[in-house]
Chains A and B, each alone.
Chain A
């Protein structure tokens, strides 16, 4: 269906639903006696991680292996990248080694797009997070998780029409938020962004969202899901809020706030969590929390993405 997965921007409802439906089928295969599928046998996938990420890397690795692909993991630390090798040289080396697919995480926004369009490699490229730009597979697994909680075994073919999702926290630096904005709205959900004024992007006019700075008002509005973002200290070179304590009290999902949500509202977090900062430990561990389901669903969703990008005929 597609040559690369770089972004959820431009996804149609039908494309998103089709991909989530394949993810349902992939998740089902993981309940079989033999979980390994022969689908990508003979395909080589390189996990190219220029930025630390344990869970996304492991999730992609598990997904690729369940599809019988050969997986090579390339972490920037300890590689020639630390000796100054450029993305171009790395990509050309991987091309020469016969990589069919490249899963890339990079601290620069647009790195995945550059890799896919540069002509350095003919491999199918999957964006596993680029700077503050996009993290499309995270958004897909979030949408999958919401749909699964809503509709259970009856999820196939359905979108998220009419659901209201609040995304809270460091929107400014969050590629998870951006990918979710495009994907969730393509699926018919409405998205409300809540953040301190310093952590809201200044130009959200083109975004199909509403924004606010008041978490209590957003909670009392009774959303279907509240997605808490991690406070990304590593991307914060300036002081975006006075103290962690103040952030937690104004923008943290405390037990008291979570208790005011409707009984069916979900609490989501892409991980890793700063317990006690953006989310209270007791809320993260409560029945309405989908944190572990998100991790589990990530494998099926990534299997679907790798299948979509790598199984069929490639244009290049």
Chain B
């Protein structure tokens, strides 16, 4: 089993900065922009993106946490998943919501997130920002902002580490070539 580092700490930081600019440019007129990160690392990314976007846009961009566990369609067939706390900082009715996750893969987490968001209201727009898109979608879901496209084999494991949770910033890939 080999472990390769695909993005170093500097690469991760640059990718996040570029995404922050992209997201602000995407919705320059959005009055109520809010980022919702999917636990665990998506929530950390949302915090970082929101801080940068607040500086770039010159106005407060709030970030919250959206747990998707209870809305998943793949709960059966594996051990019960622990739930995480959801924190929605603003009213989502009419807001521009950006869902944030670390890795986009099958798209099932994002589908669950779309269901979870609508439990809180009806946003005007929902966008998707991911640090890594590794392909292999199982649902018609497409990100609006991507830190890095990393075509990968299904047998490989892509892992994002972030300082706040893991002690360092990196994207690594493991396994694959027998």
Contacts and interface: CB of A to CB of B under 8 A. Distances in A.
A, B in one complex? yes
Nearest to A35: B119
Interface string B77-102: 11111111110000000000000000
B82 A18 contact: yes
Given A37-B70, A313-B77, A22 B82 contact: yes
A311 B75 contact: yes
A67 B83 CA distance: 14
Contacts of B77: 313
A286 interface: no
Contacts of B86: 25, 28-29
B95 to A, nearest CB: 13
Chain A CB within 10 Å — which of B71, B77, B119 has the most? Answer: B119
Contacts of B83: 21-22, 25-26, 307
Interface string A285-316: 00000000000000000000001100111000
Contacts of B121: 33
A311 B119 contact: no
Contact of A1 (B80, B84, B115, B119): B80
Contacts, number: 62
Nearest to A304: B83
B67 interface: yes
| Interface of chain B, main secondary structure | loop
Contacts of B76: 311-313
B85 A24 contact: yes
Contacts of B70: 25-26, 29, 37-39, 67, 307
B85 A312 contact: no
A312 B120 contact: no
B118 interface: yes
B113 to A, nearest CB: 13
Contacts of A313: 76-80
A25 B119 contact: no
Chain A CB within 10 Å — which of B75, B81, B85, B121 has the most? Answer: B75
B71 A37 contact: yes
B71 A25 contact: no
Nearest to A307: B80
Contacts of A34: 118-120
B60 to A, nearest CB: 22
A312 B81 contact: yes
A32 B79 CA distance: 26
Chain A CB within 10 Å — which of B72, B76, B79, B83 has the most? Answer: B83
Nearest to A68: B70
Contacts of A35: 119
A1 B85 contact: no
B85 A38 contact: no
A156 interface: yes
Contacts of A33: 119-121
Chain B CB within 10 Å — which of A18, A21, A308, A312 has the most? Answer: A312
B6 to A, nearest CB: 32
Nearest to A39: B70
Contacts of A22: 82-83
Contacts of A26: 70, 83
Contacts of B75: 39, 311-312
A308 B71 contact: no
A32 B80 contact: no
A18 B83 CA distance: 9
Interface string A1-38: 10000000000000000100110111011001111011
Nearest to B118: A34
Closest 6 CB pairs of A and B: A312-B80, A25-B83, A34-B119, A32-B119, A39-B70, A311-B75
7 contacts: A29-B86, A32-B119, A34-B119, A67-B70, A312-B75, A313-B76, A313-B78
